[in-house]
Amino acid sequence: MLLRIENLNVKIDDKKILFNYNLDINKGEIHAIMGPNGCGKSTLSRVIMGDNNYQLIKGKIYFNDEDITKLSVDERAHLGLFLAFQSPIEIEGVSNSDFLRTALSIKEKKNINLYDFAKEIETITNDLKMEKGIIHRSLNQGFSGGEKKKNEILQMKMLKPKMIIFDEIDSGLDIDSLKVVAKNILKYKQENKDVSLLIITHYHRILDYIKPDFVHIMNNGSIIKTGDYNLSLTIENEGYNNINERKIV
């Protein structure tokens, strides 16, 4: 088991968001989480990464059989967890290149060879069809929505995590950018068989490119139904109103 969430209950500002939440993800699996606005999808991603703005009332999170419930964000990242943000932050004065090289140096606990680093970034930015000078610009500042999302995939491919959470990576992408992003995610997954993916999305379209092993439907802070890829087709055609069967994962 790569990621295990047991009986998670979470609140923010005295409002309870997650209720007795359970989820198991094995190595190499692709899971998708869908659900209406406000059901707790993004909260789940932040809690898995250890965002201390959210208060854990009870429950446990395990990663590679290690209890990470009380670990900090950076400690979880060191273990191989990665979150691709729905709305990546902008940092003025810190270039993409400096940010990534610093992050890699911390992860690898050594200085990163500049030549090898530059060659790898060049390859990945070409794969992502990113503008060549983007690596020297301030992190996400002035980036379009599509550039920000591609930049999250650039970070993923450079940092090489074991468990990747995509919080609405498809939002704001036109169809061409969506295809590029999905292609690069799939390529990374094919090159790293044991890597697991958790795709949080409102829409079915990204799942056409990255077929999940399991689709979970959330509502009111809990998983209410689990199925395979075909469940996402049902949601696409019928919406969430007819999904009322509760299934414990």
The string of pLDDT tens digits covering residues 149-162 is: 999 999 999 999 99
Q: Mean of the per-residue pLDDT values for the chain?
A: 92
CATH of the domain at 76: 3.40.50.300
Residue 22 inside a domain? The answer is: yes
pLDDT recorded at residue 246: 40
Q: What total of structural domains would you count in the chain? A: 1
Tell me the percentage of the chain whose pLDDT exceeds 70. Answer: 98
The answer to whether 153 touches 127, Cβ cutoff 8 Å, is no
Residue 223 inside a domain? The answer is: yes
Tell me the percentage of the chain whose pLDDT exceeds 90. Answer: 79
Rounded to the nearest 10 degrees, the angle between the axes of helix 96-108 and helix 114-127 is 120
Q: Is the pLDDT of residue 30 over 60?
A: yes
Residue 209 inside a domain? The answer is: yes
Residue 49 inside a domain? The answer is: yes
pLDDT-derived band at 244 (thresholds 50, 70, 90) equals low
Residue 136 inside a domain? The answer is: no
User: Which range has highest mean pLDDT (99-103, 168-172, 212-216, 241-245)?
Assistant: 212-216
pLDDT recorded at residue 90: 87
Residue 215 inside a domain? The answer is: yes
Average pLDDT rounded to a whole number, residues 128-146: 91
Average pLDDT rounded to a whole number, residues 212-231: 94
User: What are the angstrom distances between the C-alpha of 133 and each of 93, 96, 178?
Assistant: 15, 10, 21
Average pLDDT rounded to a whole number, residues 40-59: 94
Residue 224 inside a domain? The answer is: yes
User: Which range of residues forms the domain containing residue 199?
Assistant: 3-92+162-238
Q: Nearest CA to 102 among 85, 77, 126, 79? A: 77
Q: Which helix (H) or strand (E) holds 224?
A: strand 222-227
Q: Which residues contact 164 (CB under 8 A, 6 or more apart)?
A: 82, 83, 84, 156, 185, 195, 196, 197, 198
Kindly compute the dihedral angle of the four CA atoms of residues 145, 236, 162, 118, in this order, to the nearest 10 degrees.
Answer: -30
Residue 203 inside a domain? The answer is: yes
Q: Nearest CA to 179 among 129, 233, 215, 135? A: 129
